[in-house]
Structure 1
């Protein structure tokens, strides 16, 4: 005899008394909570796979992503190489000309007199593999 698990088609969810106001606000703003939750689950599966979100490696990935997104909040533009997103090693392809974003400012030399309005500090941009942050 086979002991197949029957898939559930209905789940009940009891909220804890310590949920935040934002939680309830989000919940109340959903026109179709079942569809909203399904979309969120499929989004999580696409990003992190089907392991439990409580597993250490999934939690670590989610924390890293939240850290990066928070650091970028309010920024005008972001360019990320596909090789970084795919987890491959970043490389510079000389066959593809580099596009400069209009939001990126040119580097200026540091002035000897820091009180002058044209004095700007130099910014050292480096390629960073997001997986190496944590």
Structure 2
């Protein structure tokens, strides 16, 4: 017999009594809760890696992403640098959300007129529907 740990194939989950109505509404709207939770976990792994979501740096990155998404809520379009869409601007050790955050910080205000000579940029900008990204 080996000392290898067997992977669990079943987990039990007790809900806290103070869960929100939205929590229960989401839960009840799932056709297959196991598949729904697996999809969420794989999505989280792709965004934040496999460390605990309670780790400070993961929590900080998730909060930053929520801030960005909240800022984009209700907008029909946003301006994104083409290099971000192609993945060419990701540096070693930096995440996609960090690069998106810094790029959003450096973008020109939405209300600027793009045809004015003083507001034209050498960077190739592209109009993107946020719903197609998120």
Shorter-normalised TM-score: what interval? 0.5 to 0.7
- In the alignment, the residues of structure 1 paired with residue 35 and residue 114 of structure 2 have an alpha-carbon distance, to the nearest angstrom, of 48
TM-score, reference length from structure 2: 0.63
Give unmatched runs, 5+ long, in structure 1: 91-102, 110-122, 128-134
Structure 2 match to 1:106 = 113
Structure with a larger share of its residues in helix: 2
Structure 2 match to 1:21 = 21
In the TM superposition, residue 2 of structure 1 has moved relative to its aligned partner by 3.3
Larger Rg belongs to:
1
**Higher RCO, 1 vs 2 (CA within 8 Å, ≥6 residues apart):** 2
TM-score, reference length from structure 1: 0.63
For the pair 1:34 / 2:34, whether they are aligned, the reply is yes
Give unmatched runs, 5+ long, in structure 2: 92-98, 101-109, 124-134
Q: Extract structure 1 runs of 4+ deviating beyond 2 A.
A: 79-90
- In the alignment, the residues of structure 2 paired with residue 40 and residue 104 of structure 1 have an alpha-carbon distance, to the nearest angstrom, of 36
RMSD: 3.1
The SS at the match of 2:11 is coil
In the TM superposition, residue 3 of structure 1 has moved relative to its aligned partner by 1.4
In the TM superposition, residue 80 of structure 1 has moved relative to its aligned partner by 2.2
How many equivalent pairs are there? Answer: 100
- In the alignment, the residues of structure 1 paired with residue 112 and residue 41 of structure 2 have an alpha-carbon distance, to the nearest angstrom, of 39
